[in-house]
Amino acid sequence: MSGDCIFCKIAKGEFGTKFIYEDKDLLAFHDINPQAPVHVLIISRNHISRINQLDDSNPDLAGKMILTANKVARNEKISKAGYRLVFNCGPDGGQEVEHIHLHLLGGRQMSWPPG
């Protein structure tokens, strides 16, 4: 837990957020401001601020997050049509919440380049 981190509070159940997936390391829930018909966040239970904070002490976490996103995508029935996975990192990456999370976006055609 880190101070006022909103995702740490969500992980502790402080907002009564409905988790659509959970295990000992990760949680997934719907984004409060969805940018696509399916917009799910996969977060670490532990406070890690950014993807670039991962190091040899947690080599499996990002892989687990991606496998979990794939599982959620199957449950959300967007697996066949496809989807986008996004880690925003730091200010230029557009990261607003400083707690590691993976966006799963789907249910519509994505465009490229991203904004």
> Would you name the residues annotated as active-site residues?
101
**Closer by beta carbon to ligand AMP, 15 or else 67:** 15
Q: Which two tokens stand for residue 16?
A: 């009564």
83-43-84 Cα angle (round to 5): 10
For the segment 24-43, give every residue that binds ligand AMP (CB under 6 A). Answer: 31-33, 41
Residue 88 interaction partner, one of Zn ion, ligand AMP, none, beta carbon < 5-8 Å per kind: ligand AMP
Options 39, 99, 101, 103; binder of Zn ion; rule CB under 5 A? 99
Is 73 within 8 Å of 20 (Cβ atoms)? no
Rounded to the nearest 10°, the torsion over CA 18, 72, 41, 62 is 130
Stretch that binds ligand AMP, among 43-51, 58-66, 69-77, 87-95 (CB under 6 A): 87-95
Burial 80-102 (b: 16+ CB within 10 A, else e): eeebbebbbeeeeeebeebbbbb
**Closer by beta carbon to Zn ion, 5 or else 61:** 5
Q: How far is the CB of 95 from Zn ion (least distance, A)?
A: 13
Q: How far is the CB of 57 from ligand AMP (least distance, A)?
A: 23
